[in-house]
Structure 1
Amino acid sequence: MSFTPVTLPNGKPVNERLTLVVLGAVQFTHVLDFMIMMPLGPWLMEVFSISPSQFGRLTAAYGLAAAVTGLLGGAVLDRFNRKHALLTLYAGFCVSTLACALAPTYWALLAARLAAGACGGVASSVVVAMVGDFIPPERRGRAMGVVTTAFPLAQVLGVPLGLLLAEKLEWHATFFLLTAVSVPVLFIGARALPSLQPVFSGHNPLKQMRAIVTIRTHRRGFWLTASLVLAGGAIFPFMAPAMVSNVGIAKHDLLYIYLASGAVMFFTTPVVGRLVDKHDKLRLIGVFTACGIVTVLVLTNLPPVPLLVALMATTAFSVSMGSRFPPSMTMLANAVDQRYRGGFMSVNFAVQQAAGAIANIIAGLLITEQPDGRLHGFALAGLFSAFWMVLTYVFARRVRDIAPHAAAPGRPTDRMADDPAGPM
């Protein structure tokens, strides 16, 4: 992969490759910190003598804190230098991850998880904003593909590594290792990331937030993000239990499902990013949405099958769902004006967390465990997911209607008019 050098407004060149590597590393550690909690459940419940609902609070704490700070960050993030904001938040993430490793009690770990979510979640939104700031529009899709590769890579490494360390050592070792990976990223970022002063440093935070939530393009973007997450959030948490209860996959074989899905996505995500730069983004969203609808309906109605068939179904579903994000996020980065981009991405991340929580709750109401152990209602959750996938395309089209340049291939005009509040 080759990158053409870009230059900041102050004339300083940007090492585009190194910038993306560092931003991708920040995303990787953030996602890994979030995902690594899932396989630690049995160990944490045993060590702290906590119930499944209490463990659920540990996993929810990260997203809840990220959603709250995301809303707050929307009002102020665009007042600060992007690099300084990211490094400050990421430093807090490193400290809070170390606090997780040192936590002696359940309540201490819960507090550390809240701190990690508050810092890591907003840092993730700054990463997406920086891609929009520093990467030219004609290469933004490929860049977004590189950064979002952190998700499948974390899936390949996070779940197996969490299980391995917890089994061979103890649960503390997982967070010690994550801290050891994060700290060098912080220092490399301090030296390597480009610095860009805010376009409007003297704005009123309340006026900024009002603009972020009232501009029609932004509101349509929030709905697009919510639909993306609602479609996946209703299925992913219950995919592994359904594979065991409904399909008959052994628990020790679940590891292969995570590995296969993550490994394939690691290679397909950058390819999707390159497609985003060459083709109409709305058309790609439509193609991946159609694939996602087919795969989710197959997955949620899967009868008992051999492991290989289950791997094919879960991998196809994961790839289809994940492929919707690069064109959607690139479209939003193109549609939002730079002066609002940091705040928009912060609020957008809060919307993402809230939508994920809502999807989990609704799916939990739809899916019930039968006396024979099977999960009833998983197919209904599949229909719920398919419904929101259709709306994903609808909302993407509405974003394109008001900001046609955002979906265009090649080099779109990087602009957005002051779009007043109006009909969504």
Structure 2
Amino acid sequence: MTVQSETVVPMAAPSSRLPLFALAAASFGIGTTEFVIMGLLPDVATDLGVTIPQAGLLVTGYALSVTFGSPFLAVATAKMDRRWALMLLMAVFIVGNLLCALAPNYTLLMVARVVTALCHGAFFGLGAVVAAALVEPRKRAQAIAMMFAGLTLANVLGVPFGTALGEQFGWRNAFFAVVVIGAAAAIALQLWLPRNVPVPPMNLRREAGSLRSAQVILAMAISIAVSASMFSVFTYITPILQNVTQISARGVTLMLLLFGIGLTVGNIIGGRLADWRLMGSIVGALTVLIPVLALFSVTSLSPVLTGVTLVIWGLVAFALVPPLQTRVVTEAAGAPNLASTLNQGAFNFGNAIGAWFGGVGITLGLPYQMLPWMGSALAVVALVLTLISMRLDLASRIKAQLAL
């Protein structure tokens, strides 16, 4: 396969809407199952007889499965038609969530979470490439943002209502509900995704070669640091709200809803900013994120200030997702499939690191109130890596000009 055959011809704008809605519906289901465990962490820990940090490892296990399992699943589906590959990944998702709902103990729940996570990175990686292929080049970041809108809406609707459902009727019912969502998303993909998606199958040799790019590696490192920053705090958001902010279970659901609203708005803004000024939008978002997380250690003492902080935090945190995913797809433009999937693995490796860091801190006696400082420090790491990437961009441009 030549490089020219990798060129994607976007479909007409009107025909791209329903396929993007289908991708967003699937990402809604995946996002719900990924994040709902945070709202149910104390219930799961109590029911299965484990500690909060041990229950937090369900987040780490999921994230590590995405990181190391999804690339293998992406390779396994490399020669499949892109539409059928996405359908297969949704089937894995549905089976995995059914196993979560039926798991009788902690060990089998961990196994079920690992199975569920296998589809995550491969779906978002391939889905991002397909979404970008459905529109004209100048709207690719917005198309990716629309697919990820399902992920943010999962935090607005799926996670709060899943948490409320789990608290009212038992945490297993939240996963049964996700199975229904997954089935509906699979039907939408079957009906609306084009039969001939304009994305060529993966060329493994070229795809692997794209990973040698310093800028691709840096973009993934930034994704890791950004996700670690978020999940070092968000994994334990329910204990923080209950023990520090001193709010009820119903109040936790409201706070998760506010956070989800912030994520949704941030995702939309991030898509538009990325199409306007890609690296500048990453620097700007991180510059705001660092003090917001640091201040959360103080604002978490007040329910009102906590609500405000969660909206701003969610907005800024998810304003980073479309630019970072677009950065990887752009830098690996000749062979984006594996790089895009691996960047989802990078996000989730960051999730695992963040959840583990937070759990270690709690185990060693760090108060819940201090966890936001950990998230702020990790955001500083992301900013430093971004500035290094921009410096390399500048050096490359200067070298190209001198060569002329």
Superposition TM-score, scaled by structure 1 size:
0.80
User: Structure 1, unaligned stretches of length 5 or more?
Assistant: 1-6, 405-424
Give me the whole-angstrom Cα distance separating, in 1, the residues matched to 2:319 and 2:258: 16
Rounded to whole Å, the distance in 2 between the matches of 1:10 and 1:127 is 14
Q: CA separation in 2, counterparts of 1:321 and 1:9? A: 32
CA shift for structure 1 position 344: 0.8
The one of 347, 350, 353 equivalent to 2:345 is: 350
Q: Does 1:394 align with 2:387?
A: yes
Give 1:136-285 correspondences, 5 Å limit.
136-194=136-194, 195-196=196-197, 199=200, 203=203, 205=204, 207-208=205-206, 210-249=208-247, 252-277=250-275, 279-285=276-282
Note if contact 2:66-2:348 (Cα within 8 Å) is conserved in structure 1: yes
Q: Which amino acid aligns with 1:159?
A: V
Contact 2:265 2:315 in 1 (8 A): no
CA deviation after TM superposition for structure 1 residue 39, in Å: 2.8
Tell me, yes or no, if structure 1 residue 328 matches structure 2 residue 300: no
Change over 3 Å in CA distance of 1:164–1:68 after alignment to 2: same
Letter in 1 for 2:252: L
Shift of 1:240: 4.3
Deviates more, 1:170-179 or 1:42-51: 42-51
Instruction: Indicate conservation of the 8 Å contact 1:224/1:396, yes or no.
Output: no
**Contact 1:289–1:393 (Cα < 8 Å) also in 2:** no
1:378 partnered with 2:377: no
- Structure 1 CA distance for aligned equivalents of residues 134 and 392 of structure 2: 22
Q: Quick one: structure 1 residues 375 and 111, their matched pair in 2 at CA, closer, same or farther if it must change by over 3 Å?
A: closer
Preserved CA contact (<8 Å) 1:99 1:112: yes
User: Is the Cα contact below 8 Å between 1:224 and 1:395 reproduced in 2?
Assistant: no
| Closer/same/farther in 2, CA of residues 376 and 49 from structure 1, 3 Å limit | closer
8 Å CA contact 1:74–1:345 kept in 2: the answer is no
Q: CA deviation at 1:211?
A: 0.8
Partner of 2:4: none
Distance change >3 Å, CA 160–CA 79, structure 1 → 2: same
Q: 1: CA distance between counterparts of 2:114 and 2:238?
A: 26
Is the 8 Å Cα contact of residues 223 and 395 (structure 1) preserved in structure 2?
Answer: no
State whether residues 142 and 268 of structure 2, in contact with CA within 8 Å, keep that contact through their aligned partners in structure 1. Answer: yes
Cα pair 2:60 2:351 within 8 Å, conserved: no
C-alpha contact (below 8 Å) 1:36/1:158 kept by paired residues: yes
- Counterparts in 2 of 1:40 and 1:126: CA distance versus 1, 3 Å: same
Q: How far 1:332 sits from its partner (Å)?
A: 2.4
- Structure 2 distance, partners of 1:60, 1:287, is 29
Q: Deviations over 1:218-261 (max 9, x none)?
A: 22222232232233233322444344444555555222221112
Deviations 1:135-191 (CA, angstroms, capped at 9, x unpaired): 322111222222222233111223322232223333332222211221122122123
Matched, 1:341 2:336: yes
Q: Which amino acid aligns with 2:383?
A: V
Query: How many residue pairs were aligned?
Result: 390
1:90 Cα deviation (Å)? 1.0
For 1:240-297, what per-residue CA distance to the aligned partner results, in whole angstroms no more than 9, with x for missing partners?
43444445555552222211121243344324423433x2122222222221122122
CA distance in 1, matches of 2:53, 2:294: 29
- Cα displacement (A) at 1:24: 0.7
Q: Using a 3 Å threshold, how does the CA distance of structure 1 residues 255 and 399 change in structure 2: closer, same or farther?
A: farther
The one-letter code sitting in structure 2 at the alignment partner of 1:353 is N
1:274 corresponds to which letter in structure 2?
R
Question: In the aligned structure 2, how far is the partner of 1:49 from the partner of 1:129?
Answer: 42
CA offset at residue 16 of structure 1? 0.9
Q: 2:125, 2:340 within 8 Å by CA — same for their partners in 1? A: yes
Map Cα deviations across residues 297-333 of structure 1 (whole Å, 9 max, x no partner). 221344733x212211222122112212222222322
**1:32 correspondence with 2:28:** no
User: Counterpart of 1:337 in structure 2: which amino acid?
Assistant: A
- Classify the secondary structure of the residue corresponding to 1:214: coil
3-state SS of paired residue (1:93): helix
The aligned amino acid for 1:308 is: V
Structure 1 residues 243 and 389, CA, compared in 2 at 3 Å: closer, same or farther? farther
CA contact (8 A) 2:159 2:256 kept: yes
Partner of 2:197: helix, strand, or coil?
coil
How many angstroms apart in 1 are the aligned matches of 2:95 and 2:284?
42
Q: Which residue of structure 1 lines up, in the alignment, with residue 287 of structure 2? A: 290
* Deviation at residue 25 of structure 1 after TM alignment: 0.9
User: Match of 1:19, as an amino acid?
Assistant: P
Per-residue Cα deviation, 1:19-69 (whole angstroms, up to 9, x for no partner): 110111111100101112223334434444444455334333322222222
Rounded Cα–Cα distance in structure 1 between residues aligned with 2:144 and 2:393 = 18
Q: In the TM superposition, what whole-angstrom CA distance separates every residue of 1:183-204 from its partner, at most 9, and x where no partner exists?
A: 1221221231122376466x4x
Summarize the alignment of residues 95-134 of structure 1 with structure 2, pairs less than 5 Å apart: 95-134=95-134
Aligned AA (2:352): A
**One-letter identity of the residue aligned with 1:362:** F
Change (3 A) 1:39 1:347: same
- Contact residue 325 and residue 340 of structure 2 kept, 8 A: no
* AA matched with 1:312: V
Q: Distance in 1 between matches of 2:28 and 2:161?
A: 14
Could you say if the C-alpha distance between residues 49 and 303 of structure 1 is closer, same or farther in structure 2, counting changes exceeding 3 Å?
closer
Distance 1:146 1:12 in 2: 16
Taking a change above 3 Å as real, the CA distance of residues 22 and 396 of structure 1, as seen in their structure-2 partners, is farther
Q: Percent identity over the alignment?
A: 19
